């Protein structure tokens, strides 16, 4: 269960009343994985002191841009996101933290704080708040001791049910665990991917879709969700992989991001008669305008680019279209036949950015999307032209099979390879793009890649 306290004293009282033995200060650094610093709660005075002051941590072990010579930073508990650890063997309370610099100010180059600035910039210039909703795809893997009675078909597992969906119960337990820590889900289902190897290894793809949240909360939620997925799988003696591509001939795993904007309790994407508004087209045009650069944040490892294959419903062209799963941005069905029954601020009506995968730095890809959408809103003439030229529905050059479509697809994949073809290339691409994003958001911290600058900050991390 998730709790939202207003005072640290309330947390101490909750610990006493519920016999909590351990308090975990949890934080999410550059690699996107939930980190933990544990304290015994026996001494309530010490616990209150920890909640009030936070604790020092080694920033150089958490962020590639912090040098060991000046590595001390703070983690400061926040009362707004506290939950009971559903996997601990003793009663344990997890408390999420923010990063602070040596002066006690938000560590401005920390990904979460970069995203906060991006959200603020978008709101100040466009006057509305962005919401995001992510689809989390992953494979559950296990070596089976006996031959399966219901083998199913390779890559024909979409919405399959048990017993053909072998790990349906594991996925459903993940959803229950997510709910127990306050993470609401839209739905879960088996995805297309299914691989059965000669040595009895089964790899079965699943998806869990979250509900829309503001950008910072969504990034935070995804880190916790992946932590939940791994822990439930570990409990059942199976593994989970968020890798964009586990086998060349089979379906890859993405992390599609749905977006909408809310202003005065209205969804700004919706125009007259349920059509796309000009604001929506401006946001789409802004994102497409910077699509190659966005890949540096959303597709951070070389295998990310092996996923972009037309036969596996992956984006292969920098264009957008209604219901087009090969386009970089897709407009899903909007329930326009039930428009009178929908609330004005209903985030059922979104557009979907389909390139990222779960190896993305979620904070930075959401920040980059916000800045790109903000560019579109502030530069409507340019953005609307990009949207018009890149429409897969209105422009035959974006239709599958046309020569220009194939050229555009090649251009997208070539651009991505230039960003992700080698670790050194990725280092310099990320460095350049990080610098531009930092300048856009007026960050003051100097980014240093240290003496090991040939090693990319987006190295093969097991997100």
54-105 pLDDT per residue, tens:
999 999 999 998 999 989 999 999 999 999 999 999 999 999 999 999 999 9
Written as six digits, the tokens of 310 are 């037309």
Share of the chain above pLDDT 70, in %: 81
Q: Which two tokens stand for residue 420?
A: 């992700």
pLDDT above 70 (res 440): no
Cα 286 from Cα 427, distance rounded (Å): 25
CA distance 347 to 270: 10
Q: Are 456 and 427 in contact (CB under 8 A)?
A: yes
Asked if 308 contacts 412 with a C-beta cutoff of 8 angstroms, the reply is yes
For residue 110, pLDDT over 70 is answered with yes
Mean pLDDT across the stretch 220-228? 97
Question: Cis omega (within 30 of 0) on the bond before 147?
Answer: no
Residue 93 CB: number of other CB atoms within 10 A?
A: 22
Classify residue 333 as exposed, middle or buried by CB count within 10 Å of its CB (0-12, 13-18, 19+).
exposed
Shortest CA distance to 391 belongs to which of 322, 292, 316? 322
pLDDT at 460: 34
3-class secondary structure for 30-98?
CCCCCEEEEEECCCHHHHHHHHHHCEEEEHHHCCCCCCHHHCEEEEEEEEEEEEECCCCCCCEEEEEEE
Read off the pLDDT band of 230 (50, 70, 90): very high
Domains of the chain: 2-107 (3.10.20.70), 116-440 (3.30.590.10)
Q: How high is the pLDDT of residue 58?
A: 97
In this prediction the pTM is 0.86
Q: Nearest Cα to 72, choosing from 45, 41, 48, 102?
A: 102
CA-nearest of 306, 419, 313, 302 to 368 is 419
Structure-derived torsion over alpha carbons of residues 282, 283, 285, 287, reported in degrees to the nearest 10: 160
Position 419 pLDDT exceeds 60: no
Task: Kindly tell me if the per-residue pLDDT of 431 is higher than 80.
Answer: no
Task: Provide the pLDDT for residue 453.
Answer: 35
Average pLDDT over residues 201-206: 95
Q: Binning pLDDT at 50, 70 and 90, where does residue 343 land?
A: low
Q: Is the pLDDT of residue 372 over 90?
A: yes
Q: Is the pLDDT score of 208 beyond 70?
A: yes
Average pLDDT over residues 418-430: 45
Q: What angle do CA 228, 91, 227 make, to 5 degrees?
A: 10
pLDDT given for residue 151 in this prediction: 77
**Stretch 211-224: mean pLDDT, rounded?**
96
Q: What is the pLDDT of residue 418?
A: 55
207-216, 246-255, 391-400: which range is least confident on average? 391-400
What confidence tens digit (pLDDT) does each residue in 265-308 have? 889 998 887 789 999 999 999 999 999 899 999 999 888 988 88
**309, 269 in Cβ contact below 8 A?**
no
- Tens of pLDDT, residue by residue over 118-162, are 999 999 988 999 999 999 999 999 998 777 778 778 788 999 999
DSSP lists the bridge partners of residue 42 as none
User: Token pair for residue 414?
Assistant: 């070539």
What's the rounded mean pLDDT across residues 9-26?
Answer: 97
């Amino acid at each position: 269960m998730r709790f939202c306290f207003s005072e640290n004293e309330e947390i101490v009282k909750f610990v006493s009343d519920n016999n909590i033995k351990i308090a975990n200060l949890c934080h999410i650094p550059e690699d996107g994985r939930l980190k933990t610093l544990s304290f015994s709660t026996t001494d309530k005075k010490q616990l209150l002191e920890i909640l009030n002051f936070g604790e020092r941590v080694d920033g150089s072990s958490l962020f590639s841009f912090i040098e060991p010579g000046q590595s001390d930073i703070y983690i400061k508990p926040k009362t707004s996101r506290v939950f009971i650890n559903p996997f601990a063997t003793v009663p344990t309370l997890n408390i999420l933290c923010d990063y602070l610099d040596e002066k006690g100010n938000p560590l401005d180059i920390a990904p979460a704080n970069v995203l906060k600035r991006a959200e603020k910039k978008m709101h100040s210039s466009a006057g509305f708040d962005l919401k995001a909703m992510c689809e989390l795809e992953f494979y559950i893997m296990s070596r089976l001791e006996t031959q399966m009675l219901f083998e199913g078909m390779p890559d024909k597992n979409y919405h399959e049910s048990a017993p053909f969906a072998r790990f349906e119960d594991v996925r459903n337990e993940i959803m229950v665990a997510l709910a127990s820590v306050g993470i609401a889900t839209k739905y879960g289902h088996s995805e297309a991917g299914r691989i059965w190897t000669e040595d009895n290894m089964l790899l079965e793809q699943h998806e869990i879709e979250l509900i829309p949240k503001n950008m910072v909360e969504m990034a935070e939620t995804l880190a916790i969700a992946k932590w939940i997925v791994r822990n439930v799988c570990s409990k059942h003696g199976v593994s989970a992989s968020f890798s964009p591509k586990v086998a060349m001939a089979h379906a890859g795993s993405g992390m599609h991001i749905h977006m909408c904007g809310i202003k005065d309790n209205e969804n700004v994407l919706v125009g007259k008669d349920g059509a796309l508004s000009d604001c929506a087209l401006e946001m789409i045009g802004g994102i497409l305008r910077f699509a190659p650069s966005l890949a540096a944040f959303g597709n951070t490892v070389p295998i990310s680019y092996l996923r972009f294959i037309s036969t596996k419903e992956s984006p292969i062209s920098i264009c957008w279209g209604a219901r087009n799963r090969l386009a970089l941005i897709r407009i899903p069905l909007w329930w326009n036949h039930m428009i009178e029954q929908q609330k004005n601020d209903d985030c059922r009506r979104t557009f979907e950015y389909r390139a990222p995968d779960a190896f993305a730095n979620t904070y930075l890809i959401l920040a980059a999307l916000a800045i790109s959408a903000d560019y579109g809103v502030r530069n409507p003439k340019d953005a609307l032209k990009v949207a018009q030229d890149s429409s897969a529905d209105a422009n035959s050059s974006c239709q599958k099979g046309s020569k220009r479509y194939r050229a555009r697809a090649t251009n997208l994949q070539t651009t991505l390879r230039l960003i992700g073809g080698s670790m050194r290339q990725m280092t310099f691409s990320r460095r350049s793009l990080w610098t531009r994003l930092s300048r856009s958001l007026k960050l003051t911290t100097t980014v240093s890649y240290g003496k090991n600058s040939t090693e990319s900050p987006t190295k093969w991390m097991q997100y």
